[in-house]
Structure 1
Amino acid sequence: MHQRLTPATAGLLVLPPLLWAGNAVVGRMMVGLVPPMTLNFLRWALAFVLLLPLTAWLLRRGSPLWPHWRRFTILGLLGVGCYNALQYLALTTSTPLNVTLVASSTPAFMLAIGALWFGQRVTSRQVLGALLSIVGVLVVLGRGDWELLSNVRLVPGDFFILLATAAWAVYSWLLLRPGDPAQVRADWAAFLMAQIVFGLGWSGLFAAGEWALEPQPVAWGWPVIAALGYVAVGPAIVAYRSWGLGVQRVGPTIPAFFYNLTPLFAGVMSAALLGEVPRLYHAAGFVLIVGGIVVSSRR
């Protein structure tokens, strides 16, 4: 049975959006220092090493992981191999605020993908909410200029974050489908490691392709080492655990609203660390996206 939202649980649910916003800002700061696909691979390789003491049993012969390798290969592709790699790629040409605002429209993507591929019934209220969220995304992508939007002058980063959001929506639907061994699903570290094991293969393949197409050496130094430590420990492990505990306590509905604190935190961090001041169209887009989610989730 789900509990009431307490200050402690609210703290658990505020921490992941804060860390995810920091992930976007750090990804922007690493442009020119670490190639995006390589950054994603290094992030998950370090997370693998950090989780290994908790999950070594999962990698042994006879572990419940290996009979389900097909499922975790797909989850690893979408959640580990694609989502953050595409986000880091988007940040090479777009701002953290733009990227997190578009990503906050995930519920609209989930609604569309659920209706098209997973047989999800869609209500008129959900359609209205999705339309509001889509308009919010269009406001952000058009930079508040409808003439610009009509001419479809999008930067590459806008396309990549849309693709990342779609990948995350499919990943989220697959998580809802049964098929995970109970022993793995019950252990948060094992469940994350099961995806990292196969996701590292995908992210390594993408990083190798990046180097084959356009080699760019990593500018090793304390800024890069600190950034890798942050993205591996904070957004990947601490946020994952905090979010899971929060959802266990209050259910999935309330955390969805906390998730939309991400662009607010990203806006504050971008202004403080990168000098990228939020604009009026960012606020308008945020109101429309959150408004759409509120409308969709009301009974």
Structure 2
Amino acid sequence: MKASLYLVLATLFWSGNFVVGKAAVASMTPMDLTFWRWTLAAVPLLLLAHFVEKPDWRAVLRRWPVLLLLSALGMSGYTLLLYGALGHTSAVNAALVTAANPALIVVLAIVLLGERTTRLGWLGICLGLLGVLLVLTRGELQRVFSLSINTGELMMIGAIMVWGLYTIIARRLAVPAIAATAVQVAIAAVTLAPFALAMNVRLPETAAEAWSLAYIVVFPSLGAYLFWNIALKTTPPGTAGNYLNLIVVFTALLTVVLGTALTLVQIVGGLLVIAGVLLTGRTRQAKPAAAAASGRAAKSRVPGV
């Protein structure tokens, strides 16, 4: 019961990142949010990893080349694209595109690693793709051929492509999850510093900006990772991965609570995406080997939000 509560809280915190991030980019740049998010979260995450996982830090740091690559993809690249996208599209649409991540990871595993899936898995991938296309085109699928798709949603496609590559690479990283995340966050803070300086990154200047950044640092960056990894100690990763579908649900609910109505296209597209994810996840757990691979992916498939 506690594990389920922790998983629900983690997804709720990540959902809030879409909603709060959408409000924050109205006055702060993606670089402002990304740099300060990871800079302020780095030390707490390192302490969290040290006391929760007690890793062999020398062994962890020997993996620095792959940790550097993962940081560039998952912490810097994905987060910059996410906040950039939120400047052009709604929080719900961004979350719906992100929900296609699991299906995209399956496709990348097939293309890059030679993994296989079943007909049911392909059906799930197609359903997820159709759901995303409905959202991207506002229900007018012919817009795909005219390339008249919102800039923000195109950036979200780029974001989930980056996260898909991140997940494929992270699958084989034999480092405790929180420690790996903490080191990647610290690397991101250091490597982004010259760019932040060149782009005149600033601290929040209003109370609203300060509260937005505080939420992003405390809840999706610290609390969600802590709850997620504690839950994984007693919950099969494949089962935990299904909770990621709640991100779309919570984002939609938060948006409605804040006064923005959902469209029929968003609802239908969201249902198709979630159905597709459930189908692809189910087929990946059909065989023991596939289940093991899916488990490793679920641990690192935290949606980087």
Classify the TM-score, shorter chain: 0.7 to 0.9
State the 1:208 CA deviation.
4.8
In structure 2, what is the equivalent of residue 4 of structure 1? none
3-state SS of the aligned residue for 2:62? helix
Q: 1:81-106, CA deviations, whole angstroms, 9 ceiling, x for partnerless residues?
A: 11122110000000000000000001
In structure 2, what is the equivalent of residue 264 of structure 1? 249
In structure 1, what is the equivalent of residue 227 of structure 2? 242
Seen in structure 2, the aligned counterparts of structure 1 residues 246 and 92 have a Cα distance that, compared at 3 Å, is: same
Counterparts of 1:18 and 1:179 in 2: how far apart (Å)?
Answer: 28
- Maintained 8 Å contact 1:76/1:202: no
TM-score of the pair, normalised by structure 1: 0.85
Match runs of 1:6-25 below 5 Å: 7-25=1-19
- Maintained 8 Å contact 2:31/2:201: no
State the 1:257 CA deviation.
2.1
- Please, which of 148, 163, 166 is the counterpart of residue 168 of structure 1? 163
Q: 1:48-89, CA deviations, whole angstroms, 9 ceiling, x for partnerless residues?
A: 13235446799xxx8334322101101111121111221100
Q: Which moves more between the two structures, 215-224 or 192-201?
A: 215-224
Match runs of 1:104-123 below 5 Å: 104-123=99-118
In structure 2, what is the equivalent of residue 224 of structure 1? 209
Question: Which amino acid is the alignment partner of residue 124 of structure 2?
Answer: G
How many residue pairs end up in the alignment? 279
- Please, which of 129, 132, 156 is the counterpart of residue 134 of structure 1? 129
Question: Which amino acid is the alignment partner of residue 251 of structure 2?
Answer: A
State the 1:166 CA deviation.
1.2
In structure 2, what is the equivalent of residue 197 of structure 1? 186
In structure 1, what is the equivalent of residue 263 of structure 2? 279
Counterparts of 1:114 and 1:292 in 2: how far apart (Å)?
Answer: 16
Counterparts of 1:108 and 1:294 in 2: how far apart (Å)?
Answer: 9
In structure 1, what is the equivalent of residue 147 of structure 2? 152
In structure 2, what is the equivalent of residue 3 of structure 1? none
Seen in structure 2, the aligned counterparts of structure 1 residues 114 and 189 have a Cα distance that, compared at 3 Å, is: closer
RMSD of Structure 2 on Structure 1 (CA): 2.3
Q: Structure 1 stretches (4+) deviating beyond 6 angstroms?
A: none
Question: Which amino acid is the alignment partner of residue 181 of structure 2?
Answer: L
In structure 2, what is the equivalent of residue 251 of structure 1? 236
Counterparts of 1:108 and 1:230 in 2: how far apart (Å)?
Answer: 29
Counterparts of 1:224 and 1:47 in 2: how far apart (Å)?
Answer: 17
State the 1:171 CA deviation.
1.3
- Maintained 8 Å contact 1:267/1:278: yes
Runs of 5+ unmatched residues, structure 1: 1-6
Q: 1:257-289, CA deviations, whole angstroms, 9 ceiling, x for partnerless residues?
A: 21111111111212233x321111111111111
State the 1:294 CA deviation.
2.0
- Please, which of 79, 88, 97 is the counterpart of residue 93 of structure 1? 88
Corresponding position: 1:46 with 2:35: no
Runs of 5+ unmatched residues, structure 2: 287-305
- Maintained 8 Å contact 1:35/1:218: no
